[in-house]
Amino acid sequence: MKKYILKIVSALIIIVCLFGMVSCGGGSDEDHSEEIEKNALLMQDFVIDISDYAKNKKSGFIIIPQNGAELAFNYADPDEGIMMSYVNAIDGIGIEELFYDGSLSVDKYRLEMLRELKSSYPQLTIMVSDYVSKDADVEAAIKRSTEEGFISFPRRSNNYDYMFIPTVPPSGVNTDDIDKLSKAENYLYLISTDNFPNKEAMIAAIAATNYDVVLIDLFFDKDPLTPVEVQSLKTKANGKKRLVIAYISIGSAENYRYYWQTGWKKGNPSWLKKKYEGYSDEFWVEFWHPDWQDIIFGNDDSYIKKIIDAGFDGAYLDNVEAYYFLVED
């Protein structure tokens, strides 16, 4: 999982450039603004198209973009009103570091957007992954999310990259069956496999929990989970049903994925546009390029189709913020 603080810093740099507070080079402020707006529209269309494809292939398939809450508004601008076609295409929004970024640090801008969305669309599930530095903050983070009608997965410093399973859901055990995202009261976010010796050990550890929603990768290293394995995770330890969601990055390419080809590097192919700061194995992509979109969805060999075929209940779409990270410095 990506360290959201790097994204915030980069975003602030762009904002500073846009408003002419410093000289950033590479074009006028107006050019940057127009490019960001254009890219935002393309990302909104991308998410909607992914949703349409997936939900047509599997009724009730769940779509959850991570971060980029502003994309739920026309022109990615909260002042322009909610973009109904986008919100109707998604079932939730994942948000990192909303209330805590090590210590209490409420992101009021994003919080106001999420409040507006939740008020207008109560069925929209907001999944908050805060980063807390001490045990006492875990309860406080959950309380803040619960008061807003959100669900929470606070993580400590040893779990920054989503590699450990808290033994008990921080918000407690829900004894209900979970057959839709809006019923969930808690979730597990686990996309690093480094803490497990093999896939079987990871599956057994998840199966022993009572989380309402399990968010994991389609792959253990390069070995995809099978439909039988995914199905085995859809029952909580208490015997009740839960949802299993697959992580996928739609705004960046990762060089350890099955689709990566020998010889690929920044600029080859041309849509491998920009290095992802802090991650040597990842590149921001021109996500609107047909070749990249073919990798992600729309055909039987696409990433989304692999997720559907494996039996997952939905997909968690990371790096939708590519729309502004692609802007030239």
pLDDT digits (tens, 9 = 90+) for 285-320: 999 999 999 999 999 999 999 999 999 999 999 999
| pLDDT value of residue 19 | 37
| Residues of the chain scoring pLDDT < 70 | 1-31, 167-171, 328-329
| pLDDT value of residue 120 | 98
Q: Based on the structure, what is the number of domains in the chain?
A: 1
| pLDDT value of residue 173 | 84
Q: 49: domain CATH number?
A: 3.20.20
Closest CA to 46 of 306, 325, 307, 292: 292
| pLDDT value of residue 31 | 65
Radius of gyration of the chain (CA): 19
CB 217 within 8 A of CB 284: no
CB 111 within 8 A of CB 120: no
| pLDDT value of residue 136 | 84
pLDDT digits (tens, 9 = 90+) for 239-248: 999 999 999 9
Structure tokens given for 146:
């619960």
Range of the domain at 135: 4-325
Contacts for 246 with CB less than 8 Å, ≥ 6 apart: 216, 217, 218, 307, 310, 312, 314, 315, 316
| pLDDT value of residue 168 | 61
| pLDDT value of residue 328 | 65
| Residue 103 exposed, middle or buried by CB count within 10 Å (0-12, 13-18, 19+) | exposed
